[in-house]
Amino acid sequence: MFHNIVIGEPVCDPALLISANREEWETGDEKDTLFTNTRFLPAALKEAGVVPSTNEVRRNRPDLCRNLNQLETFFVNWGKQRIYVIVGR
């Protein structure tokens, strides 16, 4: 399971947004980051292994059913997990 999701091509280096320094990024955070082009948030969460299906998101968190088309960063809380999402171009 991943703890960070990078969608598209971010404006700046994801290592700057996720890690405190380059060494931390290379030793652990890069492995915990999913790079994808999936713009539908429930599908990206499923791809990251956070949820078992997109229908689970639709039933339990309808506020997360949206397409990500603008540059933004935010956290998604799912149960006890906290996923950091970075949306690029």
- Domain around 9: 4-87
CA distance linking residue 85 with residue 77, whole number of Å:
11
C-alpha 61 chain-centroid distance:
16
Residue 1 pLDDT > 80: no
The pLDDT tens digits of the residues spanning 6-47 come to 999 988 888 888 888 888 888 888 788 899 999 999 999 999
Number of domains forming the structure of the chain: 1
The pLDDT tens digits of the residues spanning 36-77 come to 999 999 999 999 999 999 999 999 999 999 999 999 999 999
**Contact status, residue 87 vs residue 36, Cβ threshold 8 Å:** no
